Amino acid sequence: MNEILYNASLVLITMHQIMEIVFLVVISIIFLENTIIKYQKNTTKLLSLHIFTLFYNYQINTLDLYFTLRYDWDDVILLARDVIRQLMYT
């Protein structure tokens, strides 16, 4: 029984990590789409700074994100755009 619970917890942790990576990729794509024209110089530095700020100032609940991804990608994209707007205006 303990082995089953242990394996289930590993699957859940792995699922959370995968969802964080997927969300990071979505954020990166949207961010690049919106800023690469405006900031042609130092785009990589700007992108990494915004992603760093995103993950340390706006902690995302990955379990909620998992259900969002499972049911509706549009909500994830809207969330990503809102967070990016907040970051760009601060």
Q: What is residue 61's three-state secondary structure?
A: coil
Structural contact between residues 15 and 66, judged by C-beta atoms closer than 8 angstroms? yes
- Quote the pTM value: 0.35
pLDDT, position 12:
65
Nearest CA to 81 among 28, 45, 40, 38?
A: 28
Reduced 3-state DSSP string for 27-39: HHHHHHHHHCCCC
The residue ranges of the chain whose pLDDT is under 70 are 1-2, 5-17, 29-80, 83-84, 86-90
